[in-house]
């Protein structure tokens, strides 16, 4: 069974044709529970998210800040497994028809098996994977299997990436390019900063792939700012924080849906 890279491509083409950025939401699988995490994905899509990234919880993250680490810890203590990540992708996609990607560090895939992981993700209806710590020069095996199964390979670029390095990364990627707006870990910021716009411009000079910006966006005004120069606005910690701060699961789902609505308005005010 082929994955949904084409659905991802057409979704991003449609938002570009509508002269707006895509809203991309990130949520960890298994948070607050596996069932609750699936409902959270449905909630942010109902609120206006165009694409969703499902995080595979990891005990030693290098990119995730304290908010997502807290959610990952809850998921891991709840016993979340890769099978639960695949179930989250499957049920969320079947319920909504929206492109769903997995964001994961390389070690869990390496241990699970690249062929097994890509085959199962495609079978679940996944659109691809974001791999923040997989070096491009070591990605040939992954890309071979991802291509075979119709999955996007999304690499992360950072403000520190030199232009030649950007060209190497974007040539190997598919779906879109994840531009980290600043150096450091995930988390909401008071300002997204000028680094992000510069990085998007330099990345676009190397590729026709959409360039989507993550790390720091937490409200409609910031979403509108980033939507002014990027093809997509990626929001994770703000959704997780809204759910963590809620008094119960139902309130958390409502808060996530409401935030998605605000951000969806923001990306339309570019």
Which residues are part of the catalytic machinery? 53, 64
- Alpha carbon dihedral 63, 157, 22, 220, in 10-degree steps, equals 60
Cα(46)–Cα(32) distance, integer angstroms: 19
Structure tokens at 237: 């910690």
**3-state secondary structure at position 250:** helix
- Long-range CB contacts (within 8 A, 24+) of 105-111: 105/56, 105/58, 105/61, 105/62, 105/131, 105/132, 105/133, 106/131, 106/133, 106/134, 107/58, 108/56, 108/58, 108/82, 109/142
Cα(253)–Cα(239) distance, integer angstroms: 10
Count of C-beta atoms within a 10 Å radius of residue 1: 10
Count of C-beta atoms within a 10 Å radius of residue 111: 9
Specify whether the CB–CB gap between 7 and 99 falls below 8 A: yes
């Amino acid at each position: 069974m082929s994955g949904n890279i084409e659905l991802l491509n057409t979704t991003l083409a449609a938002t570009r044709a509508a002269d707006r950025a895509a809203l991309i939401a990130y949520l960890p699988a298994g948070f607050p529970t596996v069932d609750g995490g699936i409902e959270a994905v449905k909630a942010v899509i109902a609120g206006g998210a165009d694409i969703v990234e499902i995080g595979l919880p990891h005990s030693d993250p290098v990119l995730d800040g304290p908010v997502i680490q807290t959610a990952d810890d809850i998921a891991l203590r709840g016993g979340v497994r890769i099978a639960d990540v695949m179930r989250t992708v499957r049920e969320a996609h079947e319920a909504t028809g929206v492109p769903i990607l997995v964001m994961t560090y390389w070690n869990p895939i390496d241990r699970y098996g690249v062929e097994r992981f890509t085959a199962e993700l495609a079978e679940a209806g996944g659109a691809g994977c974001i791999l923040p710590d997989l070096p491009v020069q070591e990605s040939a095996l992954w890309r071979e299997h991802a291509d075979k199964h119709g999955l996007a390979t999304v690499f992360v670029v950072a403000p520190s990436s030199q232009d030649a390095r950007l060209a190497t990364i974007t040539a190997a990627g598919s779906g879109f390019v994840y531009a980290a707006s600043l150096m450091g870990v995930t988390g909401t910021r008071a300002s997204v900063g000028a680094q992000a716009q510069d990085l998007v411009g330099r990345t676009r000079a190397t590729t026709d792939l959409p360039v989507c910006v993550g790390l720091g966006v937490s409200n409609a005004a910031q979403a509108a700012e980033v939507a002014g120069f990027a093809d997509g606005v990626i929001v994770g910690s703000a959704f997780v924080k809204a759910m963590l701060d809620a008094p119960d699961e139902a309130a958390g789902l409502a808060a996530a849906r409401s935030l998605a609505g605000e951000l969806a308005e923001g990306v339309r005010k570019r």
